[in-house]
A and B are shown apart, each in its own frame.
Chain A
């Protein structure tokens, strides 16, 4: 389009896009550049003893195996949470988009995005109340079940996973719902008229046609979960040391911004590499 546009069109295009570019420069490019600058500093600016440029912060990641172990742990957490979000969210979106009609759909939709309405800290602490030993969940189970069970989920990897799945589930539901909603009902009727079972329709039509939405939702979950620190810290306790919490520590506790920045950029690079490796699949889904 840009090649064939006239000069006046190009000017108008630039004028219309400039607020967006300005915003991107201020909110993304400048902070990222600042962080990149920090990541190659030997010490905090203004600290005693002066400071210089170094790649030592990146070397620290390679020298100390703890960092890569934690990064691997965070990636596994991201994969687990994404998996559960997809397993739970996609059927939800399917029912919402194709089985429920009218007002009840609106009501259920509001319930789905309810996690977005509440403050995330409040949400995490309410999970803490539910999951802790002798907490709401354990009492409820003991009240229903005839035998006594001890269910102390608090400060476990499971608790972190549950909290994160709850926080990020709406993304998968929303993106899948939009993709499923766009599928013409006549297509499904046509498949039924040819004798296709529900499973065949799901496998050969619904899933392939809504895959772009599902994958977009999965990416929206995976990327922030890998760098998450709030849920692991509060719900994970002693088990909750992840790559994200280590980065947070560098910024707010240890006050080693250069190392924190370097670790952040390594995370960014790893996530970009993973998305890059997955992009052929993503591109195929779009056509």
Chain B
């Protein structure tokens, strides 16, 4: 268990810069989510920390040791792959014991730790099964057990839940968080699913085109996004058209660069007449009913807006009807364009 730190890491593949000057600190024992669209460099960053490729410049520290020139075999990491990459010719127990065998921990110790790991991922009786005989969720647990059983300094998860269907994914999120807490390993995981990142991680980092956009605790990044991209990628953002900014109570503009203002869909209230405080006129485009919650798609001077609220709190409004949207002054986001 160690703190991990990347300092000004840059990596190019041919002409494309996959990572551009990325500096990040991953807390000891923390659960960090790397979030970004595909091609943002998040997987490259994970594989660079793992040691599958070396950075062109910059340094990577795991604990007290600088590892940017150390190959993956010598880095003492645990990694879980998107497709789990279980060894098809080895049983569940042998899969989990593979790294222990390499480390020559001895037969009795190996057996004990395999049993312990199987217990932790709740697959106690499946040690003799072959990977082909397991369900998707069970394979995921085996892959996880295999990654942490060697007690690595850092656990790297590449899209750990994306291969599971939705209901199983939510169960596994809870499981993953429990296991990570019990094992207590510094964990870094890559995902493109913002909800997964918000649920699991205690810190998240948003990447775009190989650059770090913003890093911090999920709530902080959600409530105070630094850029328009961060605001739009993590949650939805309703952009306030520039022509309508006059007459609204706004936070101070950013010290440098142009500033854009936005609101979150859940911060809005809807009414037939103009409410107190910040308010803009809008036209209802459609209403999407989703059980407990409902989403209203609106048009504010040509800008598409969203309002999310409990369905029963939203008055009946006909499509195409003019309404007023109001929000508290403190809920306005000011971000770099």
Contact = CB atoms under 8 A, between A and B. Distances in A.
Given A195-B74, A195-B150, A197-B73, A186 B81 contact: yes
A209 B147 CA distance: 21
A202 to B, nearest CB: 13
Contacts of B73: 192, 195-197
Interface string A261-283: 00000000000000000000000
Nearest to A209: B89
B79 A193 contact: yes
Given A193-B72, A194-B99, A196-B98, 20 more contacts: A184-B83, A184-B85, A189-B85, A190-B146, A191-B87, A191-B98, A192-B52, A192-B72, A193-B77, A193-B78, A193-B147, A194-B78, A194-B102, A195-B74, A195-B99, A196-B73, A200-B102, A204-B90, A204-B98, A208-B89
6 contacts: A186-B85, A193-B147, A194-B78, A194-B98, A195-B103, A196-B73
A193 B50 contact: yes
Given A195-B76, A205-B89, A209-B89, A189 B146 contact: no
Interface range, B side: 20 to 34
B110 to A, nearest CB: 13
Interface string B89-129: 11000000011001100000000000000000000000000
A209 B88 contact: yes
Which among A187, A195, A200 has the highest number of chain B CB atoms within 10 Å? A195
A185 to B, nearest CB: 9
Interface residues of A, number: 17
A214 to B, nearest CB: 14
Interface of A: 184, 186-187, 189-197, 200, 204-205, 208-209
Contact of A196 (B76, B102, B146): B102
A205 B87 contact: yes
Contacts of A204: 87, 90, 98
Contacts of B88: 187, 209
A186 B102 CA distance: 18
A192 to B, nearest CB: 5
Interface string B18-31: 00000000000000
A142 to B, nearest CB: 45
A189 B52 contact: yes
B205 to A, nearest CB: 21
Contact of B85 (A190, A200, A209): A190
Nearest to A184: B85
A191 B78 CA distance: 10
A190 B81 contact: yes
A91 to B, nearest CB: 20
Given A189-B52, A200-B102, A204-B98, A194 B150 contact: yes
Nearest to A211: B89
A228 B77 CA distance: 54
A21 B87 CA distance: 39
Contacts of A195: 73-74, 76, 99, 102-103, 150
Contacts of A209: 88-89
A191 B87 CA distance: 9
A140 B54 CA distance: 44
A187 B85 contact: yes
B175 to A, nearest CB: 20
Interface in B154-174: 156
Contacts of B85: 184, 186-187, 189-190
Interface in B179-212: none
A47 to B, nearest CB: 59
A182 to B, nearest CB: 11
B77 to A, nearest CB: 6
B306 to A, nearest CB: 38
B95 to A, nearest CB: 9
Contacts of B146: 190, 194
Contact of A189 (B81, B103, B147): B81
Contacts of A186: 81-83, 85
Contacts of A197: 73, 102
A258 to B, nearest CB: 49
A190 B102 CA distance: 13
Contacts of B82: 186
Nearest to B143: A190
Contacts of B78: 193-194
Nearest to B150: A194
A191 to B, nearest CB: 7
Nearest to A205: B87
B79 A190 contact: yes
B163 to A, nearest CB: 12
Contacts of A196: 73, 98-99, 102
Contacts of A191: 87, 98
Contacts of A192: 52, 72-73
A137 B90 CA distance: 47
Contacts of B99: 194-196
